[in-house]
Amino acid sequence: MVTIKDIAQAANVSASTVSRVIRGNPRISTHTREKVKATMKAFNYQPNQAARTLATKQSNTIGIIQKSASIEDSQNPFVIDVLSGIFSECKNHGYSTISTTNNETIGIELEVQEMIHYHSVDGFIVLYSKKDDPIIDILKAHAMPYVIIGKSLTNDGIIHIDNDNVSASQSLTRLLIDKGHNKFLFVAETGDYEVVKDRVAGHLKAIEQAGSLTEIVYFDKNRQHIRSFFQELIKYRTLPTIVITTDTLLNHLILSVFYELKLHIPTDIQTATFNDSYLNVFASPPQTTVNIYPKSLGEVAAESVINVIQGHDIVDFNKLIQTTIIERDSTTTIQGV
DNA sequence: CAGGTTGCACAAGGAACGTA
DNA sequence: TACGTTCCTTGTGCAACCTG
Protein backbone atom coordinates (compact mmCIF):
# COMPACT_ATOMS: atom_id res chain seq x y z
CA MET A 1 0.00 0.00 0.00
CA VAL A 2 1.34 3.43 -0.98
CA THR A 3 1.22 5.85 1.96
CA ILE A 4 1.74 9.55 2.33
CA LYS A 5 5.34 8.82 3.41
CA ASP A 6 6.09 7.07 0.10
CA ILE A 7 4.76 10.05 -1.84
CA ALA A 8 6.76 12.44 0.33
CA GLN A 9 9.94 10.44 -0.24
CA ALA A 10 9.41 10.18 -4.00
CA ALA A 11 8.56 13.87 -4.39
CA ASN A 12 11.41 14.87 -2.09
CA VAL A 13 9.17 16.77 0.33
CA SER A 14 7.85 16.04 3.82
CA ALA A 15 4.66 14.16 4.65
CA SER A 16 3.26 17.42 6.00
CA THR A 17 3.68 19.02 2.59
CA VAL A 18 1.91 16.13 0.87
CA SER A 19 -0.90 16.40 3.38
CA ARG A 20 -1.14 20.14 2.76
CA VAL A 21 -1.34 19.58 -1.00
CA ILE A 22 -4.11 16.99 -0.55
CA ARG A 23 -6.09 19.36 1.70
CA GLY A 24 -5.56 22.34 -0.63
CA ASN A 25 -3.64 24.31 1.99
CA PRO A 26 -2.64 27.74 0.51
CA ARG A 27 0.76 27.55 2.24
CA ILE A 28 2.07 25.41 -0.63
CA SER A 29 3.62 26.99 -3.73
CA THR A 30 2.28 26.14 -7.20
CA HIS A 31 5.55 24.43 -8.16
CA THR A 32 5.57 22.12 -5.11
CA ARG A 33 1.83 21.45 -5.46
CA GLU A 34 2.20 20.34 -9.10
CA LYS A 35 5.21 18.17 -8.26
CA VAL A 36 3.36 16.38 -5.42
CA LYS A 37 0.21 15.94 -7.51
CA ALA A 38 2.24 14.40 -10.33
CA THR A 39 3.90 11.97 -7.89
CA MET A 40 0.53 10.97 -6.41
CA LYS A 41 -0.76 10.30 -9.92
CA ALA A 42 2.33 8.28 -10.87
CA PHE A 43 1.98 6.13 -7.74
CA ASN A 44 -1.81 5.95 -8.09
CA TYR A 45 -1.96 7.09 -4.47
CA GLN A 46 -5.28 7.04 -2.63
CA PRO A 47 -5.34 8.45 0.94
CA ASN A 48 -6.07 5.84 3.60
CA GLN A 49 -9.68 6.60 4.51
CA ALA A 50 -9.49 4.79 7.87
CA ALA A 51 -6.48 6.85 8.95
CA ARG A 52 -8.09 10.02 7.68
CA THR A 53 -11.26 9.28 9.66
CA LEU A 54 -9.08 8.65 12.70
CA ALA A 55 -7.31 11.97 12.31
CA THR A 56 -10.22 14.21 11.38
CA LYS A 57 -13.12 12.33 13.00
CA GLN A 58 -14.78 12.80 9.61
CA SER A 59 -15.62 9.87 7.35
CA ASN A 60 -16.96 11.83 4.34
CA THR A 61 -19.79 9.35 4.32
CA ILE A 62 -23.53 9.95 4.64
CA GLY A 63 -25.73 7.33 6.28
CA ILE A 64 -29.09 6.66 4.67
CA ILE A 65 -31.85 5.38 6.96
CA GLN A 66 -34.65 3.57 5.16
CA LYS A 67 -37.92 2.66 6.87
CA SER A 68 -37.25 -0.93 5.85
CA ALA A 69 -34.97 -2.87 3.51
CA SER A 70 -37.76 -5.23 2.43
CA ILE A 71 -38.04 -5.85 -1.31
CA GLU A 72 -41.28 -3.82 -1.41
CA ASP A 73 -39.50 -0.81 0.07
CA SER A 74 -35.98 -1.05 -1.35
CA GLN A 75 -37.17 -1.75 -4.92
CA ASN A 76 -39.90 0.86 -4.77
CA PRO A 77 -39.24 3.24 -7.71
CA PHE A 78 -39.74 6.19 -5.35
CA VAL A 79 -36.90 4.99 -3.10
CA ILE A 80 -34.68 4.18 -6.10
CA ASP A 81 -35.18 7.70 -7.51
CA VAL A 82 -34.57 9.36 -4.13
CA LEU A 83 -31.36 7.32 -3.71
CA SER A 84 -30.24 8.26 -7.21
CA GLY A 85 -30.57 11.94 -6.27
CA ILE A 86 -28.68 11.39 -3.02
CA PHE A 87 -25.87 9.43 -4.74
CA SER A 88 -25.27 12.02 -7.44
CA GLU A 89 -25.28 14.98 -5.04
CA CYS A 90 -23.01 13.21 -2.53
CA LYS A 91 -20.59 12.31 -5.33
CA ASN A 92 -20.51 15.96 -6.44
CA HIS A 93 -19.39 16.91 -2.92
CA GLY A 94 -16.88 14.06 -2.51
CA TYR A 95 -19.02 12.06 -0.11
CA SER A 96 -19.90 8.37 -0.26
CA THR A 97 -22.98 6.72 1.25
CA ILE A 98 -23.96 3.71 3.30
CA SER A 99 -27.48 2.53 3.92
CA THR A 100 -29.29 0.60 6.63
CA THR A 101 -30.18 -2.93 5.56
CA ASN A 102 -32.63 -4.10 8.20
CA ASN A 103 -36.36 -4.75 7.96
CA GLU A 104 -37.15 -4.23 11.64
CA THR A 105 -36.93 -0.98 13.63
CA ILE A 106 -34.83 -2.62 16.34
CA GLY A 107 -32.32 -3.81 13.73
CA ILE A 108 -32.15 -0.38 12.15
CA GLU A 109 -31.55 1.14 15.60
CA LEU A 110 -28.56 -1.15 16.13
CA GLU A 111 -27.13 -0.37 12.70
CA VAL A 112 -27.44 3.37 13.29
CA GLN A 113 -25.81 3.09 16.72
CA GLU A 114 -22.92 1.13 15.20
CA MET A 115 -22.42 3.71 12.43
CA ILE A 116 -22.26 6.45 15.07
CA HIS A 117 -20.03 4.46 17.43
CA TYR A 118 -17.46 3.62 14.74
CA HIS A 119 -17.55 7.14 13.21
CA SER A 120 -18.58 5.49 9.93
CA VAL A 121 -20.74 8.46 8.93
CA ASP A 122 -20.72 12.23 9.34
CA GLY A 123 -24.48 12.63 9.09
CA PHE A 124 -27.72 10.95 8.12
CA ILE A 125 -30.57 11.28 5.67
CA VAL A 126 -33.80 9.73 6.98
CA LEU A 127 -36.04 8.65 4.11
CA TYR A 128 -39.33 8.90 6.01
CA SER A 129 -41.09 10.91 8.68
CA LYS A 130 -42.77 9.13 11.55
CA LYS A 131 -44.10 10.30 14.91
CA ASP A 132 -42.19 9.15 18.05
CA ASP A 133 -39.51 7.48 15.97
CA PRO A 134 -36.82 5.87 18.23
CA ILE A 135 -34.23 6.30 15.46
CA ILE A 136 -34.62 10.09 15.65
CA ASP A 137 -34.12 9.90 19.43
CA ILE A 138 -30.77 8.14 18.84
CA LEU A 139 -29.64 10.77 16.31
CA LYS A 140 -30.60 13.57 18.73
CA ALA A 141 -28.92 11.90 21.70
CA HIS A 142 -25.62 11.72 19.77
CA ALA A 143 -26.01 15.24 18.30
CA MET A 144 -25.64 13.79 14.78
CA PRO A 145 -26.35 16.05 11.82
CA TYR A 146 -29.38 14.72 9.94
CA VAL A 147 -32.17 15.75 7.58
CA ILE A 148 -35.53 14.13 7.04
CA ILE A 149 -37.26 13.50 3.74
CA GLY A 150 -40.81 13.99 4.91
CA LYS A 151 -43.02 16.21 6.97
CA SER A 152 -41.82 18.33 9.86
CA LEU A 153 -43.66 17.28 13.03
CA THR A 154 -42.15 19.82 15.40
CA ASN A 155 -40.30 23.09 15.04
CA ASP A 156 -37.11 21.53 16.35
CA GLY A 157 -34.56 23.09 14.01
CA ILE A 158 -34.23 19.97 11.87
CA ILE A 159 -34.24 20.31 8.09
CA HIS A 160 -37.15 18.60 6.34
CA ILE A 161 -37.39 18.11 2.61
CA ASP A 162 -40.90 17.38 1.53
CA ASN A 163 -43.70 17.93 -0.95
CA ASP A 164 -46.94 19.65 0.02
CA ASN A 165 -48.83 16.37 0.08
CA VAL A 166 -52.04 17.88 1.43
CA SER A 167 -52.22 20.33 -1.44
CA ALA A 168 -51.11 17.74 -4.03
CA SER A 169 -53.78 15.28 -2.91
CA GLN A 170 -56.39 18.01 -2.80
CA SER A 171 -55.52 19.09 -6.35
CA LEU A 172 -55.67 15.53 -7.66
CA THR A 173 -59.08 14.90 -6.08
CA ARG A 174 -60.41 18.25 -7.30
CA LEU A 175 -59.22 17.50 -10.85
CA LEU A 176 -60.99 14.14 -10.76
CA ILE A 177 -64.17 15.76 -9.38
CA ASP A 178 -64.02 18.27 -12.24
CA LYS A 179 -63.79 15.33 -14.65
CA GLY A 180 -67.08 14.03 -13.25
CA HIS A 181 -66.13 11.65 -10.44
CA ASN A 182 -68.42 11.67 -7.42
CA LYS A 183 -67.79 8.35 -5.68
CA PHE A 184 -64.22 7.79 -4.55
CA LEU A 185 -62.36 4.98 -2.87
CA PHE A 186 -59.10 6.17 -1.29
CA VAL A 187 -56.69 3.31 -0.55
CA ALA A 188 -53.97 4.26 1.92
CA GLU A 189 -50.92 2.36 3.14
CA THR A 190 -50.87 1.21 6.75
CA GLY A 191 -47.92 2.22 8.93
CA ASP A 192 -48.68 5.58 10.54
CA TYR A 193 -46.55 7.55 8.07
CA GLU A 194 -47.07 11.32 7.86
CA VAL A 195 -47.10 11.34 4.06
CA VAL A 196 -50.12 9.01 4.07
CA LYS A 197 -51.93 11.13 6.68
CA ASP A 198 -51.39 14.25 4.55
CA ARG A 199 -52.62 12.62 1.36
CA VAL A 200 -55.76 11.42 3.16
CA ALA A 201 -56.27 14.92 4.63
CA GLY A 202 -55.91 16.62 1.24
CA HIS A 203 -58.32 14.18 -0.35
CA LEU A 204 -60.95 14.74 2.38
CA LYS A 205 -60.58 18.51 2.05
CA ALA A 206 -61.46 18.42 -1.66
CA ILE A 207 -64.28 15.94 -1.03
CA GLU A 208 -65.83 18.17 1.65
CA GLN A 209 -65.60 21.24 -0.56
CA ALA A 210 -67.35 19.46 -3.44
CA GLY A 211 -69.79 17.42 -1.36
CA SER A 212 -68.71 14.19 -3.06
CA LEU A 213 -68.63 10.69 -1.59
CA THR A 214 -65.55 8.83 -0.51
CA GLU A 215 -64.43 5.91 1.57
CA ILE A 216 -60.95 5.64 3.08
CA VAL A 217 -59.52 2.14 3.49
CA TYR A 218 -56.09 1.06 4.75
CA PHE A 219 -54.12 -1.87 3.36
CA ASP A 220 -50.63 -3.21 3.65
CA LYS A 221 -49.27 -4.76 0.47
CA ASN A 222 -51.24 -8.00 0.89
CA ARG A 223 -52.81 -9.02 -2.38
CA GLN A 224 -55.21 -11.50 -0.76
CA HIS A 225 -56.71 -8.86 1.53
CA ILE A 226 -57.14 -6.43 -1.36
CA ARG A 227 -58.71 -9.10 -3.53
CA SER A 228 -61.22 -10.09 -0.84
CA PHE A 229 -62.15 -6.46 -0.27
CA PHE A 230 -62.96 -5.81 -3.94
CA GLN A 231 -64.77 -9.12 -4.34
CA GLU A 232 -67.12 -8.13 -1.50
CA LEU A 233 -67.47 -4.66 -2.93
CA ILE A 234 -68.60 -6.05 -6.29
CA LYS A 235 -70.93 -8.57 -4.69
CA TYR A 236 -72.70 -6.49 -2.02
CA ARG A 237 -72.14 -2.83 -2.78
CA THR A 238 -71.72 -0.38 -5.66
CA LEU A 239 -68.32 0.23 -7.20
CA PRO A 240 -66.68 3.62 -6.80
CA THR A 241 -66.03 5.51 -10.02
CA ILE A 242 -62.37 5.86 -9.14
CA VAL A 243 -59.76 4.39 -6.81
CA ILE A 244 -56.91 6.61 -5.62
CA THR A 245 -53.96 4.91 -3.93
CA THR A 246 -51.27 6.61 -1.87
CA ASP A 247 -48.48 4.59 -3.47
CA THR A 248 -47.57 3.20 -6.87
CA LEU A 249 -46.89 -0.35 -5.71
CA LEU A 250 -50.21 -0.51 -3.88
CA ASN A 251 -51.82 0.77 -7.07
CA HIS A 252 -50.15 -2.01 -9.05
CA LEU A 253 -51.49 -4.63 -6.69
CA ILE A 254 -54.97 -3.21 -7.24
CA LEU A 255 -54.48 -3.20 -11.03
CA SER A 256 -53.63 -6.90 -10.93
CA VAL A 257 -56.68 -7.61 -8.76
CA PHE A 258 -58.88 -5.66 -11.21
CA TYR A 259 -57.45 -7.71 -14.08
CA GLU A 260 -58.33 -10.89 -12.25
CA LEU A 261 -61.84 -9.64 -11.40
CA LYS A 262 -62.30 -8.54 -15.03
CA LEU A 263 -62.76 -4.88 -14.11
CA HIS A 264 -61.66 -2.84 -17.12
CA ILE A 265 -59.85 0.47 -16.65
CA PRO A 266 -60.96 3.15 -17.51
CA THR A 267 -64.44 2.01 -18.58
CA ASP A 268 -65.58 0.02 -15.50
CA ILE A 269 -63.51 1.89 -12.95
CA GLN A 270 -60.66 4.40 -12.99
CA THR A 271 -57.41 4.69 -11.06
CA ALA A 272 -54.93 7.33 -9.99
CA THR A 273 -51.96 7.24 -7.66
CA PHE A 274 -48.96 9.08 -6.24
CA ASN A 275 -45.19 8.87 -6.91
CA ASP A 276 -44.81 8.92 -10.67
CA SER A 277 -42.28 6.53 -12.22
CA TYR A 278 -41.74 4.38 -15.29
CA LEU A 279 -44.01 1.75 -13.68
CA ASN A 280 -46.95 4.09 -14.18
CA VAL A 281 -45.99 4.77 -17.80
CA PHE A 282 -45.62 1.04 -18.58
CA ALA A 283 -48.81 0.00 -16.71
CA SER A 284 -51.85 -1.11 -18.64
CA PRO A 285 -53.40 1.34 -19.06
CA PRO A 286 -50.81 4.02 -18.24
CA GLN A 287 -51.67 5.53 -14.84
CA THR A 288 -52.58 9.06 -13.88
CA THR A 289 -50.20 10.09 -11.11
CA VAL A 290 -48.81 12.88 -8.99
CA ASN A 291 -45.13 13.39 -9.75
CA ILE A 292 -43.37 14.32 -6.51
CA TYR A 293 -39.90 14.59 -8.12
CA PRO A 294 -38.14 12.06 -5.86
CA LYS A 295 -34.71 12.65 -7.43
CA SER A 296 -34.94 16.33 -6.45
CA LEU A 297 -35.96 15.31 -2.93
CA GLY A 298 -32.80 13.19 -2.72
CA GLU A 299 -30.54 15.87 -4.19
CA VAL A 300 -31.80 18.60 -1.86
CA ALA A 301 -31.59 16.25 1.14
CA ALA A 302 -27.95 15.38 0.38
CA GLU A 303 -26.97 18.99 -0.24
CA SER A 304 -28.69 20.04 3.00
CA VAL A 305 -27.07 17.44 5.25
CA ILE A 306 -23.63 18.23 3.80
CA ASN A 307 -24.27 21.92 4.55
CA VAL A 308 -25.12 21.03 8.15
CA ILE A 309 -22.00 18.85 8.48
CA GLN A 310 -19.81 21.61 7.09
CA GLY A 311 -21.31 24.11 9.52
CA HIS A 312 -22.94 26.39 6.96
CA ASP A 313 -25.74 28.66 8.11
CA ILE A 314 -29.17 27.15 7.53
CA VAL A 315 -31.76 29.62 6.33
CA ASP A 316 -34.62 27.37 5.29
CA PHE A 317 -35.53 24.41 7.53
CA ASN A 318 -38.60 23.32 5.57
CA LYS A 319 -37.82 22.83 1.90
CA LEU A 320 -40.75 22.06 -0.36
CA ILE A 321 -40.33 20.35 -3.72
CA GLN A 322 -43.03 21.03 -6.30
CA THR A 323 -45.54 18.41 -7.45
CA THR A 324 -47.23 17.93 -10.83
CA ILE A 325 -50.27 15.91 -11.82
CA ILE A 326 -49.71 13.78 -14.92
CA GLU A 327 -52.92 12.63 -16.60
CA ARG A 328 -52.80 9.35 -18.48
CA ASP A 329 -55.27 6.80 -19.90
CA SER A 330 -56.41 5.46 -16.50
CA THR A 331 -58.63 8.55 -16.09
CA THR A 332 -59.42 9.50 -19.69
CA THR A 333 -63.09 8.63 -20.21
CA ILE A 334 -65.90 8.04 -17.77
CA GLN A 335 -68.73 5.65 -18.36
CA GLY A 336 -72.12 6.57 -16.95
CA VAL A 337 -71.08 9.68 -15.10
C1' DC B 1 15.96 41.92 6.56
C1' DA B 2 11.18 40.75 5.41
C1' DG B 3 8.10 37.74 3.71
C1' DG B 4 6.99 33.45 1.69
C1' DT B 5 7.61 28.55 1.83
C1' DT B 6 8.66 24.20 3.77
C1' DG B 7 10.08 20.92 7.37
C1' DC B 8 9.92 19.03 11.91
C1' DA B 9 7.90 17.39 16.03
C1' DC B 10 4.08 16.18 18.30
C1' DA B 11 -0.65 14.99 19.62
C1' DA B 12 -4.77 12.75 18.54
C1' DG B 13 -7.80 9.04 17.13
C1' DG B 14 -9.39 3.26 17.70
C1' DA B 15 -7.97 -1.26 17.18
C1' DA B 16 -4.76 -4.90 17.03
C1' DC B 17 -0.86 -6.89 18.56
C1' DG B 18 3.31 -7.66 21.40
C1' DT B 19 5.63 -7.74 25.75
C1' DA B 20 6.40 -7.73 30.68
C1' DT C 1 -3.91 -8.40 32.84
C1' DA C 2 -1.96 -4.04 32.01
C1' DC C 3 0.61 -1.31 29.44
C1' DG C 4 3.20 0.13 25.33
C1' DT C 5 3.71 0.30 20.42
C1' DT C 6 2.27 0.55 15.78
C1' DC C 7 -0.60 1.71 11.94
C1' DC C 8 -1.72 6.41 8.94
C1' DT C 9 -3.26 10.97 8.39
C1' DT C 10 -4.28 15.60 9.82
C1' DG C 11 -3.59 19.95 12.09
C1' DT C 12 -0.75 23.07 14.53
C1' DG C 13 3.08 25.87 16.22
C1' DC C 14 7.46 27.05 15.55
C1' DA C 15 12.03 26.79 13.37
C1' DA C 16 14.71 26.94 9.31
C1' DC C 17 15.54 28.02 4.75
C1' DC C 18 15.33 30.66 0.39
C1' DT C 19 14.79 34.68 -2.53
C1' DG C 20 14.49 39.44 -3.74
Domains and CATH numbers, chain A: 4-47 (1.10.260.40), 61-163+295-322 (3.40.50.2300), 165-292 (3.40.50.2300)
Mean of the pLDDT values across residues A260-278? Answer: 95
Cis peptide before A240 (omega within 30 of 0): no
- Answer yes or no: is A318 CB < 7 A from strand B: no
Q: How confident is the model at residue A335 (pLDDT cuts 50, 70, 90)?
A: very low
Give me the amino acid identity at A230: F
| CA–C1' gap, A62 and B12, in angstroms | 24
| CA–C1' gap, A148 and C10, in angstroms | 31
Q: Which residues contact A254 (CB under 8 A, 6 or more apart)?
A: A187, A226, A230, A243, A245, A271
- Answer yes or no: is A12 CB < 7 A from strand B: yes
- Answer yes or no: is A55 CB < 7 A from strand C: yes
| CA–C1' gap, A53 and C9, in angstroms | 8
Residue with CA nearest to C12's C1' atom: A16
Residue with CA nearest to B12's C1' atom: A55
Among the residue ranges A77-91, A126-140, A250-264, the one predicted with the least confidence is A126-140
Among the residue ranges A54-58, A85-89, A110-114, A280-284, the one predicted with the least confidence is A54-58
| CA–C1' gap, A21 and B11, in angstroms | 21
Q: What is the mean pLDDT of chain A?
A: 88
Task: Please tell me which of A133-142, A205-214, A314-323 the model is most confident about, judged by mean pLDDT.
Answer: A205-214
- The candidate with the shortest Cα–Cα distance to A130, out of A199, A72, A70, A196, is A196
Whole-model pTM: value is: 0.79
